[in-house]
Amino acid sequence: MKFLATLLTLAATASAVDLYLHVDNDCGSSGFRCTSIGPNSCCGTISNNSPYQSVSVRDIQQLWNIQCLGYDGGMCNRRRTISDYTGGDFICNRSNGFRYTGVEYRSLGWERATGSSASALKEEEEECQRPDALVLGDGSEFDLAGLSDEEFDAL
Ligand SMILES: *[C@@H]1O[C@H](CO)[C@@H](O)[C@H](O)[C@H]1NC(C)=O
């Protein structure tokens, strides 16, 4: 059982990534981060009036068959961009105009090979997690977890 527990812990670690909402259009080094989040979990804000112009998935590690999904319309309401993972250690997509309000990733597993992508694409009602950290270009980080929604929106 000891071994099994270790294995499960490793598996859990491997399937979590960091999701970012960036205020620039190029997945720059600053952004709002949902730290260590699992698949199909929205990272975003309720506000329609968001400043985010690009989204990224980072800290991918050994996961490879994943996609980054970007949304607008408040949290993960309306999907606007889908990005395949093509190697390297992050996935990025840009709005080139609209403002993102949410980002999530999904693991494709074997679904692509078996052609059941229609069901895999079906979105479900879900909760949205607010970013828990603000990362600045110089590497400094601020913990946002303790802010109220009003304080967060005022950032
Ligand atoms: C960004 O999203 C669009 C729309 O889904 C997609 O066609 C494009 O391939 C994506 N770009 C990247 C770099 O993944």
Q: DSSP string of 71-106?
A: EESSTTSEEEEEEE--SSSEEEEE-BTB-B-EEEEE
The CATH code that applies to domain 14-144 is: 2.60.20
Tokens at residue 56, please? 């990224």
Nearest CA to ligand 1 atom 9: 83
**Do 74 and 4 meet the contact criterion of CB atoms below 8 Å apart?**
no
Which ligand 1 atom minimizes the distance to the CA of 94?
A: 1
User: What is d(CA 78, CA 91) in angstroms, rounded to the nearest whole number?
Assistant: 19
Nearest CA to ligand 1 atom 3: 81
E strand spans, the chain: 17-22, 31-37, 42-44, 54-58, 66-72, 78-84, 90-94, 102-107, 128-129, 133-135, 141-143
Predicted local distance difference test score (pLDDT) of residue 87: 87
The bridge status of strand 42-44 relative to strand 128-129 is parallel
pLDDT in tens, 93-137: 999 999 999 999 998 875 444 444 444 444 454 678 999 999 999
First-to-final CA distance of the chain? 47
Residue with tokens 């105009």: 97
pLDDT in tens, 10-19: 555 557 899 9
Q: Which residues fall within 8 angstroms of residue 62, CB to CB, at 6 or more apart?
A: 14
Predicted local distance difference test score (pLDDT) of residue 94: 97
Q: What does pTM read for this prediction?
A: 0.81
Which ligand 1 atom minimizes the distance to the CA of 92?
A: 13
Predicted local distance difference test score (pLDDT) of residue 144: 95
Burial class (CB in 10 A: 0-12, 13-18, 19+), 73: middle
If one residue of 79, 83, 104, 121 were mutated to test the ligand 1 pocket, choosing by the most ligand atoms within 8 A of its CB, it would be 83
Predicted local distance difference test score (pLDDT) of residue 128: 87
